[in-house]
Structure 1
Amino acid sequence: MNIANKITISRVIMIPIFLIFLLVPMHLGTVPIWHAHVPVSQFIAGIIFIVASCTDWLDGYFARKYNLVTNFGKFLDPLADKLLVMSAFVSLVDFHYIPSWMVIIILAREFAVTGLRLVAAGEGDVIAASKVAKWKTTFQMLAIIFYLFNNLPFGLNGFPLADILLWIAVIMTIISGWDYFYKNREIILKSK
């Protein structure tokens, strides 16, 4: 197992730790940030999410720089992203931070693209993440980070940066879903 794949696996391992700090009631106080307060457990969850998100860039860097691109990595990297991002989005819906319909659109696209990847795998093809999908994931992760930190420091003056990032993420989600299906339509057509 190469270093890039180990980094990807570490992202998967961080997900339950992130969820424990985010979802399990812990009365650890608050962290003052820019004249506002974030619960300590949510703050720790946010830090874990940031570290896990950075591993997405790091595994890709090692894979490309040292020619460590493998089919396992092409499969696991987007799956690890989906697990991390979806667990965070579902949690944020539970906290009433974001509307469920936006997460449903994101989830639907993820399931559809995963289905496409499974069909491609059955045909012996591997569909790697596209550039549009990478931008989509970046905007999703940024939105989640700002929600986890209560949109600080922007929330203090009423600027809804987290909401704007989420809207961009939803639009990019739709565009990247269409992009995957359009570029890989032959796979679907030949599997009929």
Structure 2
Amino acid sequence: MNTANRITLARIALIPLFMFFFAEWPAKLADAAVFRFLNEYGSYMAVAIFVLASGTDKLDGYIARKYNQITNLGKLLDPLADKLLISVALIMMVQADMIASWVAVIMIGREFVITGLRMIASAQGIALAADRFGKWKMVAQVVAIVAVMLENVPFQWFTYIRVDQLLMLLALLMTLASGVHYLVNNFKALKLNEM
């Protein structure tokens, strides 16, 4: 296994650690100092882990291209790791009542639709590459998730506006727009291929 794939696997391995720190531990366990600490500061550690995991997405791609380590395993694992990381973060934020459930449903649903389209294309022998709109969408989602997990810090020091929620709305709009763009551009290729 090459370095790029190891980094991708490390990103996947960080997801349970992110969940551990982000979770709200039951009050029954609050007597133990470790759980009291986790309930008070765990979310900040979760943010750090999330940012680290998100950053490895660029790193593994860079290494794969620079050192010619692009593999079929990497092509499978890299988008899977991204989808898992974002989906887990969104689901846990819904559980923590930080975002509305419909926001998570739309963002995660978009990934299911695009993955389904890629599977259909793959069955037809067509490789659908990610476009720049998908990459911008990923960046917007990461920024919005971090802002919401930090509960509008540091923006709350400068304004009463919930910048974190505005960033989440922007990420949602970019998610929808990039999904529509991807479907329109690639569905034509699939229809042409079937004729």
- Please tell me the TM-score bracket, short chain as reference: 0.7 to 0.9
Match of 2:165 among 163, 166, 171: 163
Residue aligning to 1:13? 13
Residue aligning to 1:122? 123
TM-score by length of 1: 0.87
TM-score by length of 2: 0.86
Residue aligning to 1:36? none
Q: CA deviation at 1:107?
A: 1.4
- Paired with 1:121 and 1:29, the residues of 2 have a C-alpha distance of 44
Q: Which runs of 5+ in 2 are unaligned?
A: 26-34
Number of residue pairs the alignment of both structures matches = 184
Which residue identity does 2:136 align to in structure 1?
W
- Paired with 1:120 and 1:3, the residues of 2 have a C-alpha distance of 28
Which residue identity does 1:12 align to in structure 2?
I
Aligned-residue CA RMSD (Å): 1.9
Residue aligning to 2:178? 176
Q: CA deviation at 1:125?
A: 2.9
Runs of 4+ in structure 1 deviating by more than 3 angstroms, as ranges, are 188-192
Q: Which runs of 5+ in 1 are unaligned?
A: 31-38
Q: CA deviation at 1:105?
A: 1.1
Contact 1:71 1:126 in 2 (8 A): no
Q: CA deviation at 1:129?
A: 2.0
For residues 71-107 of structure 1, the C-alpha deviation after alignment (integer angstroms, 9 at most, x for no partner) is 3222221111110001001111111111111111111
Higher helix share: 2
Q: CA deviation at 1:188?
A: 5.4
Relative contact order (alpha carbons < 8 A, sep ≥ 6): 1 or 2 greater?
1
Distance 1:59 1:95, change over 3 A: same
- Paired with 1:152 and 1:188, the residues of 2 have a C-alpha distance of 47
Structure-to-structure mapping, 1:28-67, within 5 angstroms? 28=37, 39-67=40-68
- Paired with 1:40 and 1:81, the residues of 2 have a C-alpha distance of 25
For 2:103, what is the secondary structure of its paired residue? Answer: helix
For 1:28, what is the secondary structure of its paired residue? Answer: helix
Higher strand share: 1
Contact 1:23 1:91 in 2 (8 A): yes
Residue aligning to 1:73? 74
Contact 2:21 2:38 in 1 (8 A): no
Which residue identity does 2:64 align to in structure 1?
A
Distance 1:77 1:65, change over 3 A: same
For 2:37, what is the secondary structure of its paired residue? Answer: coil
